[in-house]
Amino acid sequence: MEKVKSEIVRVEADLSENLKEKVNLEIARVAQEMNRS
């Protein structure tokens, strides 16, 4: 059971990293759009 828990924690960490990256890219894109208009 412990192994499963640590695996879940690792996957959640990976997911939050990916989400942060996506959010940052999205923010950068929106900022560029605003700068253009």
User: How much is the pLDDT for 35?
Assistant: 95
User: How much is the pLDDT for 20?
Assistant: 98
HEC assignment per residue over the chain = CHHHHHHHHHHHHHHHHHHHHHHHHHHHHHHHHHHHC
Question: And the tokens for 34?
Answer: 């605003």
Instruction: State the pTM of this model.
Output: 0.65
d(CA 18, CA 22): 6
Tell me which long-range contacts 3-7 makes (C-beta under 8 A, separation of at least 24): none
Q: Please write the tens of the pLDDT for every residue from 1-37.
A: 899 999 999 999 999 999 999 999 999 999 999 999 8
User: How much is the pLDDT for 9?
Assistant: 96
User: How much is the pLDDT for 29?
Assistant: 98
